[in-house]
């Protein structure tokens, strides 16, 4: 049943339309006029049978905005873990290698960056495999570029005739793709690399005849130069006469294992301020035996010293080599060190 032709019930669909521009369907190609079937109709609307794919990433559902993509998606990147299989033709043992890499998809302009983490002694040119730019789809759709809808977990993606298998992605990428309505697949496992397994077996079978660790004299200095440990200490000297508690700061230098002690003297304490309590030096772990006074350990025994300061002092030695004798007396003991 048709609506009556009354004001507000007009079937004309052009009433609320504001854009009426017409696209140019003819282009010059090879010196002649060619019809371009991908051009839209009047006002940019698709013609009958036309279906346009999004050229750039779109906003997640429910979070749309009027901001441009380079503002809304600024510094937002999707990260995928992937690998690709590289055949080996000149190797004797392995026939292929599994090379792990990371794919970064920048949402602001749909550019893609592919890097391969560097491994020690790999012998391969690792690092940046594909610099950041928009990558076209494989032929025959090479006139289009990759967008966010082309990525998913456990899916093969072709970049310039090289097939990358996406194994997993980070949490931000999973949340973003889920908001777009993309159903994520289960994470895939990375196959074992025969060359890596061969190297691990070779290193495990190595048994050096002289295992030792080379200690370079400058290694400790180069690694720990300028690094110092600081400890706050307290010296409790209250057991002695006129003793008190004194605060100290201990510096331990990692470059050469030296120790420095500085005393913290509070203001108006009556003590003379000294620059350092202990100068920077190597401190022995076990304290040496208490040093004996001069003359306690000698080859000959001193019997007496006589003379004046003006005439000079003279020493009488024991020519008979009589050693000190300990004599007990009562509850006390004394030591006879010589005779006159």
Residues 169 and 243 in one domain: no
Residues 253 and 180 in one domain: no
In the predicted model, is pLDDT for residue 299 greater than 50? yes
Number of domains in the chain: 3
Asked if 25 and 39 count as a contact pair (C-beta separation under 8 A), the reply is yes
Residue 12, domain member (yes or no) = no
Residues 76 and 38 in one domain: no
Residue 193, domain member (yes or no) = yes
The larger pLDDT score, comparing residue 194 to residue 262, is at 262
Dist CA 79 CA 172 (whole Å): 8
Residue 4, domain member (yes or no) = no
Residue 35, domain member (yes or no) = yes
pLDDT band with cut points at 50, 70 and 90 for residue 254: very high
Comparing 3-12, 95-104, 199-208, 221-230, the range with the smallest average pLDDT is 3-12
Domain of 180, CATH number, reads 2.30.29.170
Residues 39 and 156 in one domain: no
Domain end call among 281, 298, 328? 281
Is the backbone of residue 44 left (phi > 0), alpha (psi -120 to 50) or beta? Answer: left
Residues 76 and 175 in one domain: yes
Q: Give 217: exposed, middle or buried? Use CB within 10 Å, 0-12, 13-18, 19+.
A: exposed
Q: Which domain holds residue 177?
A: 69-198
Percent of the chain scoring above 70 in pLDDT:
75
Residue 170, domain member (yes or no) = yes
Residues 188 and 243 in one domain: no
Residues 88 and 188 in one domain: yes
pLDDT, position 313: 67
The helix/strand count (H/E) of the chain reads as 4, 16
Residues 85 and 111 in one domain: yes
């Amino acid at each position: 049943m048709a609506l009556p032709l009354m004001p507000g019930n007009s079937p004309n669909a052009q009433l609320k339309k504001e854009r009426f521009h017409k696209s140019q369907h003819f282009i010059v190609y090879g010196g002649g006029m060619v019809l371009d079937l991908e051009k839209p109709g009047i006002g940019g609307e698709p013609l009958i049978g036309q279906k346009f794919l999004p050229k750039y990433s779109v906003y997640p559902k429910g979070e749309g905005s009027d901001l441009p993509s380079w503002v809304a998606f600024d510094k937002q990147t999707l990260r995928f873990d992937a690998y690709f299989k590289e055949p080996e033709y000149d190797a004797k043992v392995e026939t292929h290698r599994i090379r792990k890499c990371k794919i970064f998809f920048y949402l602001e302009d749909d550019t893609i960056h592919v890097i391969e983490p560097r491994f020690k002694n790999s012998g391969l040119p690792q690092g940046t495999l594909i610099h950041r730019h928009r990558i076209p789809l494989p032929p025959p759709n090479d006139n289009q570029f990759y967008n966010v809808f082309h990525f998913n977990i456990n899916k093969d993606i072709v970049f310039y005739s090289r097939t990358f298998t996406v194994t997993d992605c980070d949490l931000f990428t999973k949340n973003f793709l889920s908001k777009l309505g993309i159903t994520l697949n289960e994470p895939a496992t990375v196959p074992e690399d025969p060359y890596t397994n061969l190297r691990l077996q070779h290193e495990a079978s190595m048994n050096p005849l002289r295992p030792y660790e080379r200690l370079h004299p400058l290694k400790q200095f180069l690694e720990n130069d300028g690094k110092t440990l600081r400890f706050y200490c307290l010296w409790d000297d209250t057991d002695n006469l006129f003793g008190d508690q004194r605060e100290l700061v201990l510096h331990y230098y990692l470059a050469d294992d030296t120790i420095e002690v500085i005393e913290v003297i509070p203001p108006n304490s009556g003590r003379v301020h000294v620059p350092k309590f202990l100068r920077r030096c190597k401190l022995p772990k076990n304290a040496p035996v208490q040093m004996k006074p001069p003359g306690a350990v000698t080859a000959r025994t001193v019997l007496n010293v006589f003379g004046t300061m003006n005439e000079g002092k003279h020493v009488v030695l024991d020519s008979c080599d009589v050693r000190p004798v300990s004599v007990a007396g009562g509850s006390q003991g004394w030591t006879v060190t010589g005779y006159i």
